[in-house]
Amino acid sequence: MASTEQPVDESSKAPVPEPKLARGPSFPPINLLWGDLALRLLLFASTLTGVVVMVTSKQTELLFPFPVTKTAKFNYSPAFIYFVVALSVACLYSILTITASIFFILKSSPSNKLLLLVVSVDALMAGLVASATGASASVAYIGLKGNSHVGWIKVCNIYHKFCRHIASSTALALVASIILLWLVLLSTFSIYRRIR
């Protein structure tokens, strides 16, 4: 019996693709919304703790050689008042953005315009918290070291607890400033990924 197949020229065949090697499971890209939510929760914790520590920084001491008691409180310094107000605004802002982040995770991702607005306000908050941190740190430094050129004396050798509160609150505000900077970078990267 004769075969009905036509002879095929071996040189005209298309090359057979090599089988692909099996790779491990492909992981989805990192979800930036979860990172955003985590940073906003840290921002809330650091600003709220900073405000509470600053507001509770009251100490009364008996000053020698005079039999006089003096009290050190945060509201005796305009820099510390500004610090408390700035951290309170940042804390309120973090509550609003935590709510928005949860909504975006559950429902839908934010639009580019909304992300741009959030980046702008995050940058504004970063500037506000950083300036308040600088104001608080400068007054705290004078309290710690004094200034002999203008006759300002050190007070941290008398008001130990008060100065520890101020230092702790200022350190927390510095952490909040860094978190806000990370939030600006994260939101900017999120916008970049969308338009790329």
Instruction: Quote the mean pLDDT of the chain.
Output: 86
Task: For residue 4, name the pLDDT band (cuts at 50, 70, 90).
Answer: low
Percentage of the residues of the chain whose pLDDT score is greater than 70: 85
Using 50, 70 and 90 to split pLDDT, how confident is the model at 1?
low
Q: Tell me the mean pLDDT in the region 122-144.
A: 97
- Predicted structure pTM score: 0.80
pLDDT per position as a tens digit, 65-97 = 778 898 999 999 999 999 999 999 999 999 999
What integer pLDDT is reported at residue 12 of this predicted model? 59
Q: Could you tell me the pLDDT band of residue 57, with boundaries at 50, 70 and 90?
A: very high
pLDDT of residue 104: 85
pLDDT confidence bin for 110, thresholds 50/70/90: confident
More confident residue, 156 or 8: 156
Quote the distance between the C-alpha of residue 94 and its chain's center: 10
Give residue-wise pLDDT tens across range 162-177.
999 999 999 999 999 9
